[in-house]
Structure 1
Amino acid sequence: MQLALLMEDVGDELWPVLRDFNMVLDISEVCGMTGDNSSAMEDFRSCLLDTGLLSIPMQGAIYTWHNCSDGHQSLWKKLDRILANDRWLAHWPNSVCLSTSPRTSDHSPLALRGHTSRRLGGVFQFDNYLAKAHGFLDLVQWVWRHDIYGTPMYSITRKLKLLKPLFQAKRKEKGDLSANVAKAIEMST
C-alpha cells in the first residue's frame, strides 16, 4: 500500500493521517448490504500493523460514508478515519477524531482535536522499591481493571496517569529518598 511507502519518509516525526481510505478494517464498520472483500480488509489491517499507525478514538457519527440511497439499498461505512503514529499519540494522548453527519457530501466531515494541555508533572517516575511495598500489586491491579476506551497506547497512558498520584503518595510516605541515601552514606563513614 502507498501508506507503507510514506512511512519510510516520515521517520521519527509526529504523524497524523486524515483521509478517506475507501476501505473498512472489519465488517462491523459496515451497515447494510455490502460486497466488501475480506482479503482487502486483511491487507488494510496488515498495512496498519506494519506502519504502526493507530486509529485515534472517534466521537460522533460512527459511519463516515453513505451511498445516499434509501431503504434496503442504503449503505453506511466507516471509510474515513484519522490515524497517528505512536510519537503523535505520546505528544497528544488525548487526541480525538470528531465526526459529524454528512451535509453536502456523501462523506462525514472529520476534525482532529489535540488537547495540548500542559504536562505539569513531567515524565512518569517509578522507583523499584515501590514494587516491594505492601499493597503494590493490589493497587496496580485495581487501576488496570478500569475500562478505558480508545487505542491501546491511549489506554495505557491513561492508566499510568491514574497510578502516578498513588505512587507519589507512597513515595512521600517513605520520605525524601535522595536525602535518606545521603544520610545513610554519611552515617556509614
Structure 2
Amino acid sequence: MVDASKAEFIRRKLGFERVFKNCSQKIWLFHSFDLNCEVLLDHVQCLHVKLNMPWLEVPLLASFIYAKCTRSEKLVLWDCLRSLAINIHSPWIVGGDFNAILHSVERLNGAMPHAGSMEDFATTLLDCGLMDGGYEGNSFTWTNNRMFQRLDRMTYNHHWAYFFASTRIQHLNRDGLDHCPLLISCSKNQDRMPSSFRFLHAWVLHHGFKKFVEQNWTSSIVGSRLQAFWVKQRRLKQALKWWNKEVFGDIFHNLKVAEQRAANCEIIFQQE
C-alpha cells in the first residue's frame, strides 16, 4: 500500500490541489480546483470519473486504466468496461496501461503475442464503442530494455470524437523510465488562436533582466495615466519578446529539438 503522505507530497510538488487514488493504490489522479471531479467507480484496475469544467457545456467521462498482467485477471476489467459502456451516452475517454496489445506489430522482440489475449482486447473495444486514438512519436510505450510493446493507449467513443474537433495523443520520451508518458491535447475548434504571452521564471534569474525592464518602463510616453499604463504594458510585452529571443533564443524550439534528438536515440536503441 502507498502511504497517503507520499501522494500528498507529490501533489504539492506537481502543484495540483487534489489527488484521488483507486482502491488498489495503483491509479493516481491529480487535478486543480477549476476542474470538478466525481468518482463514479473505484475498481482495482480502473478509476472511472465524471469531469465538469466551467469552459465546457457538458461533463466528460474518463476511465483511467492500470490492468493486471494475466489474461484471466484482465477479463474482469474487460467486463467492467462493458458494464460501464451500457449507460454511457456522452463523451467518454478510456486510457492508461492496458497491459495488452491489439496487433503483433505492437511488440518488438520477445515471444509471439497470445492471439486470444489480443482478441479479448479488440472485442472489448468493439463492444464498448471505443476507437483507438492513434499516436505521435515512438511506436512503443514500454520496454524492459529487451522487449518493446505498446501497452499504453488512449481510446474514446464517437460522442468524444463528435464533441472535440481534434484529439492529439503524443508518446513522450521515456527519460529513463520503463513506460513513456502520454500527452493528450483536445480542441473543440480547429482554428489557430493567436499565441499568448508567457512570462518565464528564468528571466528574473538573468543579471540584465531588471535593468532592461526599468529602462523600458521609465521611457517617456504620451497619454493619460490609465492609457499610459496600458501602453507601457503593451510596449514592455513586445520588448520582452524581443529580449527573450536575443538572450535566451527560441527555447520552445530548442526544447523540441532536444526532445526529437532523444526520440531518435530511443528508436536507434530499439533497432540496434
TM-score (norm 1): 0.56
Conserved? CA contact 2:166–2:190, under 8 Å:
no
Shift of 1:118: 6.3
**Matched letter for residue 27 of structure 1:** S
Conserved? CA contact 2:132–2:153, under 8 Å:
yes
Give the match for residue 113 of structure 2: 36
Query: Where do 1:2-81 residues align within 5 Å?
Result: 2-9=80-87, 11-67=88-144, 69=145, 74-81=146-153
Give the match for residue 188 of structure 2: 116
Conserved? CA contact 1:33–1:75, under 8 Å:
yes
**Matched letter for residue 122 of structure 2:** R
Give the match for residue 100 of structure 1: 172
Shift of 1:100: 1.1
* SS of residue paired to 2:123: helix
Runs of 4+ aligned residues of structure 1 deviating over 3 Å after TM superposition are none
Shift of 1:91: 1.1
* SS of residue paired to 1:95: strand
Residues in 2 aligned to 1:106 and 1:112: alpha-carbon distance in whole angstroms: 19
**Matched letter for residue 114 of structure 1:** C
Conserved? CA contact 1:96–1:114, under 8 Å:
yes
Shift of 1:117: 1.1
**Matched letter for residue 86 of structure 2:** E
Residues in 2 aligned to 1:118 and 1:28: alpha-carbon distance in whole angstroms: 32
Residues in 1 aligned to 2:148 and 2:161: alpha-carbon distance in whole angstroms: 28
Q: 5+ unaligned residues in a row in structure 2: which ranges?
A: 1-77, 192-272
* SS of residue paired to 1:105: coil
CA RMSD in angstroms, aligned pairs only: 1.6
Residues in 1 aligned to 2:84 and 2:130: alpha-carbon distance in whole angstroms: 12
Shift of 1:37: 1.0
Conserved? CA contact 1:57–1:95, under 8 Å:
no
**Matched letter for residue 93 of structure 1:** A
* SS of residue paired to 2:162: helix
Shift of 1:35: 4.3
Q: 5+ unaligned residues in a row in structure 1: which ranges?
A: 120-189
Shift of 1:105: 2.5
Shift of 1:30: 0.6
Residues in 2 aligned to 1:27 and 1:66: alpha-carbon distance in whole angstroms: 15
String of CA shifts for 1:81-130, please: whole Å, max 9, x gaps.
Answer: 000000000111311111112124311100111122168xxxxxxxxxxx
Q: Which has the higher strand share?
A: 2
> What is the identity percentage for the equivalent residue pairs of Structure 1 and Structure 2?
27
Residues in 2 aligned to 1:32 and 1:103: alpha-carbon distance in whole angstroms: 21
Q: Which has the higher helix share?
A: 1
